[in-house]
Structure 1
């Protein structure tokens, strides 16, 4: 007689985490979805030739997958009738195209001279302490990735940071916890 084994406790948590990793791997390695193709087709319709839509195509892939894997570069290249090297050169040039996995929310902390003078260092230290990460790292719960950014274009309101597409100006240390709570839920 076959005995059924139930997965409990830590083994169950490890199993669920493993399944999430497998699902994520499949999602990032899958060919372009119909929705991605539809959105890329729209962008292609706005430019004189397919290759001109490569940045937008990469942004679309990233919107659905959170980052652009090598397999995604290949899929975009094939779809836009380009070489993978051409697509990769665009993807690696733009700092807002993520070529490595990132958390659910990306925090861009401006480290320009204006932000540096206006207290960037204190903001960075507070973020490091609250999130327990340094630049280029993702929190253990996969919610936040912290990245430096050369300029967010609001030097007159330094220090500045951006979370996803939300810009925060004149940031103070005591505001960070409240700001981060918005994205933790």
Structure 2
């Protein structure tokens, strides 16, 4: 099993080097390269950041700055199900703190952390742009509107059962 993981990782690193070469190492393409890495690995590992820094001749501090500035990048592994809670003004005023508190209680983690089994990640984001149906969450980038604390256990149980559909609740007020 370990050999398969190592081989897989080597294949990804070879593919990464080809991807960087296809951009001729242009520093302006850093975000595109990081997006590719995030998609392939699920996060941007430190050793991969070092490869990017070397091949693209970009300081590691610049790469870290981009990763920490954009919420779609992560420097640590994410859970299988990434739950992101909107903490923008409308969501906040319509109950996001209570929804967050329920997720924290049910999952046993704080924002920007993973459960011990890496099944769930919990994140806070600024705004999903769906203020009229606040509060909002996303699960693996799929939106869910009109969240309420009592819906949290249902969502977690659906995800655990792998039956989560990601369907947007489009009821009207």
Q: Give TM-score scaled by structure 1 length.
A: 0.71
Pair 1:130 & 2:103 matched: no
Matches of 1:122 and 1:55, distance apart in 2: 34
Matches within 5 A, 1:9-24: none
> How far did 1:155 drift?
1.2
Provide runs of 4+ in structure 1 moved above 4 Å.
37-42
Matches within 5 A, 1:25-64: 27=9, 32-37=12-17, 44=23, 50-64=26-40
Contact 1:66 1:104 in 2 (8 A): no
Pair 1:101 & 2:81 matched: no
Matches of 1:175 and 1:41, distance apart in 2: 47
Matches of 1:83 and 1:31, distance apart in 2: 25
Q: Cα deviation per residue 1:57-80 (whole Å; 9 max; x = unaligned)?
A: 112212222221221111122333
Q: 1:104 to 1:79 in 2, by over 3 A?
A: farther
Runs of 5+ consecutive residues of structure 1 not aligned to the other structure: 1-15
Matches of 2:154 and 2:145, distance apart in 1: 14
Tell me the SS of whatever aligns to 1:33.
helix
> How far did 1:169 drift?
1.4
Matches of 1:72 and 1:35, distance apart in 2: 12
> How far did 1:90 drift?
1.5
> How far did 1:32 drift?
5.0
> How far did 1:142 drift?
0.8
Q: Give TM-score scaled by structure 2 length.
A: 0.75
- The structure that has the greater radius of gyration is 1
Which residue in the other structure is 1:121 paired with? 97
Contact 1:31 1:75 in 2 (8 A): no
> How far did 1:153 drift?
1.6
Runs of 5+ consecutive residues of structure 2 not aligned to the other structure: 163-173
RMSD: 2.9
